[in-house]
Amino acid sequence: MPVTQTVPAAARMFLSGNDAVARAVWEAGTRVAAAYPGTPSTEILEVLSRYPDLHTEWSVNEKVSMEVALGASMVGARAFCAMKHVGLNVASDALMTMTVTGTEGGLVIAVADDVGMSSSQNEQDSRYWGRFAHVPVLEPADSHEAYAMTLAAFELSERLKSPVILRLTTRICHVKGVVQTGERIEIEPAGFVKDPRHWVMVPGNAKPRLPSMFVREAAARAEAEISPLNFQVDGSDRRIGFVASGPTFMHVREAFPDAPVFKLGLSCPPPLESLRRFAGTVDSVLVVEETEPLLETEMKAAGIACHGKDVLPRIGELAPDVLEPAVRRLRGEVVPEPEHVPAQQVFPRPPTMCVACPHLGVYYTLSQMRNVIISGDIGCYTLGAGHPWNALDSCISMGASMGTALGMDKGRGKVDENKKVVAVIGDSTFMHMGMQGLLDITWNRGNVTVLLLDNRAVGMTGGQDNPGTGRDIHGEETPRVDFAKLCEALGVKSERIRVVDPYELPVLFKALREETKIEEPSVIITNRPCVLIDHYQPAKSYTVIEDRCTGCGNCVEVGCPAIHVTRRDKAVKASGKEVDLSFVRIETSACTGCGLCVQPCAPEAIVHADPVQSVQSVQFVRK
């Protein structure tokens, strides 16, 4: 579905931080923008891809997206890339040399930190990368600032010839507010100037450039002292003066409307002299920053007395409900009991895999296998670690299931000798960082069985395209990767590569049994698409014949959210063993007829809903 949309004219708009950044990137005359999807940054490129007059792309990983942006900057174009916090770890290799070359066309890197950890494997403070790479960091506080600071970031980048980091957090990316937008400016790139001493970073060229980073940092520091992005809000209650960066500014203003606040927008390098003057006007200073005590440490090192993480939490968001009691304690006041009903204990409700998700079959099968160690990865299929499957033993970072599995194989001792090592990875994740790991497995003769779950989408972030879907960011056709051939090229023997249907449980089980027995690298590719992408065709739904259901609960073990337990009971077997029984029904309106639950149902109690008819069930062999 190629998208050609008209762009809304300048107006007051209700935009999320991600929408606002995208709008400003477009207005700034940017010619190239790239990203790999990652919550909470994903929507920036999704929105940007609907704008005309610029190249947008999903890159295979964040490092590539940054390289693409740098290339555009080299030829004089304004360029942009976006990623989540962990993505900058991947891209850091490019960043740490880009900071030496500097940039030509304005280059802005939006990095979205998952403060509060809604969907990530860690919580990290990307502002450190600004200090590490000696590049300026801008921190907007809401959608309006995200818009204005994106425009300011391009100008700052061009003034300093430096990449600029726009540091966002979940509460910027996914908060909507009112923004006054403008129109696009067109900038014709100046063109590439051949200059190997500038762009070819061999030691002889790079070494003379190193001091430029510090000259630039000094210029940025001077700019920070006078920048309108750093400003002071006066207040009558001078007991505590707050220093706030990013969204914490709004929380401080909300919770303490009468207190003076020094608000940092251009926070790296920090305007220490301005902060020193501010500290002199209040009784004490409290630095409110998410998440690390970064400004606090810098201020203390400069001899500015302040409080920070001695009273505030080092993890999570600093919303008013966290700030208020902390500040009361700092003032030596008694913290009153909250005037509301206490939080109620209710069962946990983690996200689940979807009805008919092809991963259900994979994890059901894995959960039935004994003596396996399962190395997991980042994606929807990480949910396989949860109930009822409990079928993941590790999950580190994008693509890490490959290398981790190899390490498990090579490092195991006698106690694990008879176990099989299985690695699970998704299609997009495989291309992001997994390919290199598989190459290492084949090269070093690892005994690992890889399950490559090709559902033709970056599922977890909402079904974006990748080189395995055969479509680009606009939905237009592009060459589609052949995973079997790719794995073969990476050194897996062709007879050790199988493509199986994850809805055919016995076939999948047999393939896994056989491949884990053979002591060499193998890849099992599952080939059913994500049920949420637009061309998924549901089949006829199923229902349970009540009289036939014996309560064995095998279908519940599949983990499909459309299966509901109607009644529980206990039975005593002939052996005297007591077993739990779960009688079930299928939510017919949700069922898409994938047939996964039919297969382990021994009494053939699951049949097509209409017309009611018996379905051939396949006895599933419990190993």
Which of 48, 138, 160, 175 lies at the binding interface for other proteins (CB under 8 A)? 175
Distance CA 481, CA 304 (A): 57
Which of 183, 186, 188, 339 lies at the binding interface for other proteins (CB under 8 A)? 339
Q: Nearest CA to 165 among 72, 41, 55?
A: 41
Question: Does residue 313 interact with other proteins by CB under 8 A?
Answer: no
Question: Does residue 351 interact with other proteins by CB under 8 A?
Answer: yes
Which of 254, 283, 476, 501 lies at the binding interface for other proteins (CB under 8 A)? 254
Q: Tell me how far the alpha carbon of residue 464 is from its chain's centroid.
A: 13
At position 26, the amino acid (one-letter code) is W
Question: Does residue 343 interact with other proteins by CB under 8 A?
Answer: yes
| Residue number, 414 or 570, with CB nearest to other proteins | 570
Listed in sequence order, the residues at least 6 apart from 324 whose beta carbon sits closer than 8 Å to its beta carbon are: 255
Which of 191, 203, 336, 342 lies at the binding interface for other proteins (CB under 8 A)? 342
Residue 327 Cβ, how far from other proteins at the closest point, in Å?
14
| Residue number, 176 or 307, with CB nearest to other proteins | 176
Give the length of the chain: 623
**Contact positions with other proteins (CB under 8 A) in 519-538:** 532
Distance CA 516, CA 450 (A): 9
Supply the DSSP string of 131-156, one letter for each residue: HHHT--EE--SSHHHHHHHHHHHHHH
Q: How far is CA 500 from CA 360, 383, 618, in A?
A: 14, 21, 17
Residue 276 Cβ, how far from other proteins at the closest point, in Å?
27
Pairing status of strand 266-268 against strand 32-35? unpaired
Question: Does residue 114 interact with other proteins by CB under 8 A?
Answer: yes
Q: Which residue has the tokens 């974006």?
A: 464
- Total number of residues that touch other proteins (CB under 8 A): 63
Instruction: Reduce the DSSP state of residue 416 to 3 states and report it.
Output: helix
- CB-based contact 271:298 (threshold 8 Å): no
Q: Which residue has the tokens 């309108």?
A: 228
Listed in sequence order, the residues at least 6 apart from 605 whose beta carbon sits closer than 8 Å to its beta carbon are: 544, 545, 548, 549, 550
Which of 349, 370, 414, 577 lies at the binding interface for other proteins (CB under 8 A)? 349
Instruction: Reduce the DSSP state of residue 424 to 3 states and report it.
Output: strand
Question: Does residue 171 interact with other proteins by CB under 8 A?
Answer: yes
Question: Does residue 178 interact with other proteins by CB under 8 A?
Answer: yes
Q: Which residue has the tokens 């499957």?
A: 389
Relative orientation angle of helices 143-160 and 17-27, to the nearest 10 degrees: 40
Question: Does residue 565 interact with other proteins by CB under 8 A?
Answer: yes
Question: Does residue 287 interact with other proteins by CB under 8 A?
Answer: no
Which of 236, 344, 418, 613 lies at the binding interface for other proteins (CB under 8 A)? 344
**Contact positions with other proteins (CB under 8 A) in 456-515:** 459-462
| Residue number, 523 or 594, with CB nearest to other proteins | 594
Residue 346 Cβ, how far from other proteins at the closest point, in Å?
4
Distance CA 150, CA 153 (A): 5
| Residue number, 319 or 330, with CB nearest to other proteins | 319
**Contact positions with other proteins (CB under 8 A) in 383-442:** 387-388
Residue 565 Cβ, how far from other proteins at the closest point, in Å?
5
R_g (Cα) of the chain, nearest Å = 28
Site mask, other proteins, residues 2-41, x = CB under 8 A? ------------x------------------------xx-
Q: Nearest CA to 33 among 1, 65, 71?
A: 65
Which of 191, 203, 350, 576 lies at the binding interface for other proteins (CB under 8 A)? 350
What residues line the site for other proteins (CB under 8 A)? 14, 39-40, 114, 116-120, 142, 170-171, 174-178, 247, 250-251, 253-255, 257, 317, 319-321, 324, 338-344, 346-354, 380, 387-388, 459-462, 532, 556, 559, 561, 563-565, 568, 580, 582, 589
